[in-house]
Chains A and B, each alone.
Chain A
Amino acid sequence: MNIIVCLKQVPDTETQIKIGSDRQSIVTDDVKWVMNPYDEFGVEEALRLKEKHGGEVTVVGLGPKRVTESIRTALAMGADKGILISDEALNGSDSLGHAKALAAAVKGLEYDLIFTGQRGVDDDLGIVGATLAELLNIPQVSLIVKMEVAEDGKSIKVERPIEGETLVITSTLPALVTAQKGLNEPRYASLPGIMKAKKKPLEEKSLAGLGLNSADFGAGARKLKILELTPPPSRQAGKIIEGETPQEKAAQLAKLLHEEAKVL
């Protein structure tokens, strides 16, 4: 089975987010960059499928040079090859732009399956996977927590939890799967794995190298335009319920929820 895994980097979820003076982007000075957590599930699932069915796992990362680190991590976990798509002209692109760049890199490769994370925990959009699948004209199954490949290698069976139920879905291959938490527990890279990763092929591609026109990318080409970033809406200050005993406090709380908040 030939499997492609797409990944990007995001600020670690502990990071304090500060809005830049341009109010269009965040301050990145103190950011700790990590592999997008949902992409990790994709890497792990690809490795498990390779272990079961044989084949090769190629990791495609997109972003600045530092993304190389996350590609190396995936190689250390057991992936075979890496590709980094990196270009100044990509800065400020929207999801459509990112998907177009990924599609150009993936198009020439042989694949049965493509994994992406269900969304990036930076922009929380969850669009790149679907767009990539569309550009490659393959089916997508998103937010998947369980999957298996059919004996004949021509289809997959997956599970997707929706509100109140879980759907069991089949898809023909090749297909794109977006990974949801619960799909697996990603392994840690072992020390031998880290050493081997240094020798595994990792090539870098620019937009021009992929046959793409820089003018179609970047902030100027965005279809989703950011007008402004703001801090989250502040809630009105709350009150701490007074009382001598837990019973008193509970009584006061119940009364306020009924009379004031009107939620009971």
Chain B
Amino acid sequence: MAQGVWTIAEQRDGEIRKISYELVSEGRRLADALGQELTVVLLGSNIKDKAAEFGPYGANKVLVADDSRLEPYTTDAYVSVISQLVKANEPGILLLGASVEGKDLAGRLAARLDVAMAQDCTAFAIEDGKLVAIRPIYAGKAYAKVTFENSWPQMATARPKVMAINEPDPSKSAEVMDAAFTLDDADLKTKVLDVIKDASGKVDLTEADKIVSGGRGMKGPENYNVLEALADVIGASVGASRSAVDAGWRPHSDQVGQTGKVVSPNLYVACGISGAIQHLAGMSTSKVIVAINKDGDAPIFQKADYGVVGDLFDVVPALTEEVKKYV
């Protein structure tokens, strides 16, 4: 009988990524609801000393797969190792993060295990001993409550920055175990040749705690320095709507929206953005939304927690000064 909650940790260059703690925290809540154990699966090279990080957040066990072929992430290597561990241990629930590589891994892993997978979920619960997941569809215009039928382990990915991270308890520790697996080089058909770091060095929008975003109301690329000034003071990343990206004012990697990035920061400040449904799809799970727009009828005001009807070129510089009192 499949049982136990497993989460797959995400690490890069030997550092554990934040989403891993979101998954462990949520995994702990689900394991408690089931009265079962929580195991974290950690893959990488020379990674074993990081296993100790998960106990304080609620993990009972950490299964470590350490191999030079597991750094960096490749679909083939990770799917091979994790599917072997799953088949040997039969967990009831398997959670991953809906990061770029998390989604890549989850899709292929689910196919390898011939199970269903709920992608980019914003909430989980246990009902009658089974996992139930809530996830946005149609770019968030509707939400689906889903569950799993004849499909073990029950697999899902969690949207980054949505699940609350537990207060770590340093008195708690997890049992660290070496995972047993085999990796055949002939199975590894893809290889990472190179890593090109983003020039700005700024936090990626999908991981930013705060975002200041500009749309058509910015009127041109040269005006984004107004947003960057605010972003610098409050420690935010700068995003853009599709209009601004299509106009060539900002790179596609800055686009927030249905065909851009889905972000979930604590604070999202939308400047000169009307609030088209496709844009909302990218930021509706933000904790606090501020809208600054000249047009009081702009749809964004219906989604905003705080709205300022005014010219962003007056309001944003004034706001930049005012927030200095608090940061």
Contacts and interface: CB of A to CB of B under 8 A. Distances in A.
Interface of A: 11, 13-17, 19, 26, 37, 94-96, 99, 119, 121-127, 129-131, 133-135, 138-143, 157, 159-172, 175, 181-182, 222-233, 235-236, 238-241, 246-247, 249-251, 253-258, 261, 263-264
B110 A169 contact: no
Given A236-B305, A249-B310, A96 B116 contact: yes
A166 B190 contact: no
Given A13-B139, A250-B321, A228 B326 contact: no
Contact of B100 (A13, A96, A161): A161
Nearest to B108: A130
Nearest 9 A-B pairs (CB), nearest first? A130-B107, A250-B318, A134-B111, A224-B116, A223-B116, A246-B314, A254-B322, A139-B189, A163-B204
B267 to A, nearest CB: 4
Contacts of B56: none
Nearest to A222: B149
Contact of A224 (B108, B118, B305): B118
Contacts of B115: 223
Interface string B191-225: 11111111000011011001000000000000000
Given A225-B146, A246-B315, A253-B290, A127 B110 contact: yes
Contacts of B303: 235, 238
Contacts of B1: none
Interface stretch (B41-49, B85-93, B253-261): B253-261
Contact of B107 (A14, A129, A240): A129
A236 B305 CA distance: 7
A139 B76 contact: yes
Nearest to B122: A233
Interface string B301-322: 1011111111100110011011
B145 A228 contact: yes
A84 B115 CA distance: 26
Given A164-B204, A172-B189, A224-B116, A123 B137 contact: yes
A29 to B, nearest CB: 16
